[in-house]
Amino acid sequence: MISKTHKAHMALFGANLIYGINYIVAKGIMPDKIGPSAFVFIRLFCGTILFWIVKSFIKEKVDQKDMLRLVVCGFLGAATNQLLFFNGLSLTSPVDASIIMTSTPILVLIFSVLVLNEKITSVKLWGTALAATGAIVLILYGSRPPGTGSLLGNILVFLNTMAYALYLVIVKPLITKYNPLTLISWIFLFGFIFMLPFGLHEFISTDVNAFTLNTFLAIGFVVIFTTFFAYLFNIYALKFVSPSVNSSYIYLQPVVNFVIVSLSSFLLVDNTYAQDINLVKILSCILVISGVYLVSKTKTAETSH
């Protein structure tokens, strides 16, 4: 019988596998086919509809006192997170973006201590330190030429990690109180409202006639997998593991990204992002995988709340 904690780790692995693939998929159509803010408009609009359709089968009300926290979660975890990430990704290399995202667990630990008074266990500390070492090396080498990175794009992606990390911490107290679908439905609804002033105009200005089959397939992947399933997997996992354990799985994203870029280069003869990968980054990824393993092996008593 698979325990709930093990299911949570499986959900986190699945979510971050999807996120790892998303870098290449989303980058492939931005900004040539669709602007980043218009893409976020589609994500939040479709995601909100999908989540509320499923939620209609769950008769659960949210206490009025929790609404303000949900509003903040919608602002940080849906609107700000997605707008910063997609605008940053449209400017920089998907490899660099996946590398920068590995700073999230460090920020989550800081916010968890400040907001939730979470204890940092020795195993979790060593795992995070090991993964952080690999992440720091990756970040230092990430913008060195040759490459397709961008300073502004990298900054926007980093700001996204801050918003996402704080979101993981703030949403945690609500996880044990409500069904994950109830929470994510409200978070997306509030996020969509916050995003409207930034994404509506760009969406209206998008030339849909220029879309190819690949464009529609990429948008479909981002809406169904990156938005619906990945967010659902993440918020489900938060019921059984701490925000810091949840965020530690983000270290898998650059590994998945590296594999996809490498396969594209050698099998599909697409060298667009191959120059963004070198031996230093590969060795650094080995460090972050080891860090994820240590954190994931932390005992249930230490990682769940």
Burial degree of 256 (CB within 10 A; 0-12, 13-18, 19+): buried
pLDDT digits (tens, 9 = 90+) for 76-107: 999 999 999 999 999 888 877 887 787 787 77
Q: Is 278 helix (H, G, I), strand (E, B) or coil?
A: coil
Asked whether 250 and 16 are in contact (CB, 8 A), the reply is: yes
Amino acid at 198: F
As a 3-state breakdown, the chain gives helix, strand, coil percent values, each rounded to 5, of 80, 0, 20
d(CA 195, CA 192): 5
Peptide bond into 146 cis (omega under 30): yes
What integer pLDDT is reported at residue 264 of this predicted model? Answer: 67
Task: Look up the pTM and report it.
Answer: 0.81
Asked whether 27 and 94 are in contact (CB, 8 A), the reply is: yes
The closest of 304, 300, 287 to 126, measured between CA atoms, is 287
Q: Is 286 helix (H, G, I), strand (E, B) or coil?
A: helix
Chunked into runs of 10 residues, the chain (305 residues) has average pLDDT values of 85 90 88 92 95 90 94 96 93 81 78 76 78 70 60 86 90 87 94 95 93 94 94 87 77 77 63 64 72 61 37
pLDDT digits (tens, 9 = 90+) for 261-280: 777 666 655 566 556 666 77
d(CA 170, CA 185): 16
Q: Quote the radius of gyration of the chain (alpha carbons, Å).
A: 19
Asked whether 37 and 156 are in contact (CB, 8 A), the reply is: no
